[in-house]
Amino acid sequence: MNILITGASRGIGLATAKKLAEKGHNIGLFATNTATLESAIKDKTFKKPIKQQRIITGQLDVTQPDSWDNAIKQMIEHFGGIDALINNAGVLVSGALPTTNLDEQLALIDVNCKGVLIGCHKLAPYLADSKDGKIINVSSASAIYGQPEVATYAASKFFVRGLTEGLNIEYEKLGIKVIDVMPLWVKSDMTADIEVTSMDRLGIHLTVNDVAKTLCKLTTSPNRKLKSTHYSVGMPAKIFQAVSQVTPDSVIRWVNTKVGA
């Protein structure tokens, strides 16, 4: 498979690229910071894939349509096509909304919402040419119910969830499967310096490799076997998602005030 991964210089994106590279797939690792990306691919995992010309890297600002065009061009020139997009690039800002930097919150919306949308728009014609073309959006368990102290982040993941659900139906006629993954808090560079009450109370039990394992499995599975639209990662997230389907909104809100406020 030919797979394009955004936000691939670290965290979940990089861990996923490693697992897919080990399985023999062609991977395009793209990120805003190319210096960090070039350092990341020096990992021994990529030594053989690079020698076999199964790895390319490039700069991609997911908020800029032209930047997507350049990344797609690189994929086509090197691999001849694109079979899957992993929309992983994301930003997290924590704190009570009025106390946080507004520009940072707006930048979060640009990356987490606008970036995912552009990717879904730009890749559709190319994925439609693939036998098992698919888009996997990295969402979050915070898309189950809005979270205090990360309200904007949670809202951005609600956007990702809604977009995924709509495109899961819309893109079916193109032969493209659109799904998302919804992990709870993950131990990564993104959460290293973040202070959130729910994180303190629930703890961080997932690693980037846990999420990467799920992403790798979903990416390489035939579309006909992907029966769900949302895939929770980790037992707590799976329980929260299942409970949210049958629990009154007032009860879910009460639980969230106890966990996150």
Ranges 121-125, 128-132, 257-261: which has the least confidence: 257-261
Is the model's pLDDT at 241 over the cut of 80? no
Catalytic residue positions? 153
Q: What is the pLDDT of residue 213?
A: 96
- Mean pLDDT computed over every residue of the chain: 90
Is the model's pLDDT at 93 over the cut of 70? yes
Percent of the chain with pLDDT over 90: 77
Is the model's pLDDT at 108 over the cut of 80? yes
CATH number of the structural domain spanning residue 67 = 3.40.50.720
Is the model's pLDDT at 261 over the cut of 90? no
Q: What is the pLDDT of residue 247?
A: 65
Instruction: Count how many domains the chain has.
Output: 1
Q: What is the pLDDT of residue 246?
A: 63
- Could you give phi then psi for residue 223, rounded to 5 degrees? -55, -35
> Sorting pLDDT into bands at 50, 70 and 90, what band is 196?
confident
What would the mean pLDDT of 229-252 be, rounded to a whole number? 72
Domain extent for 13: 2-260
Is the model's pLDDT at 114 over the cut of 90? yes
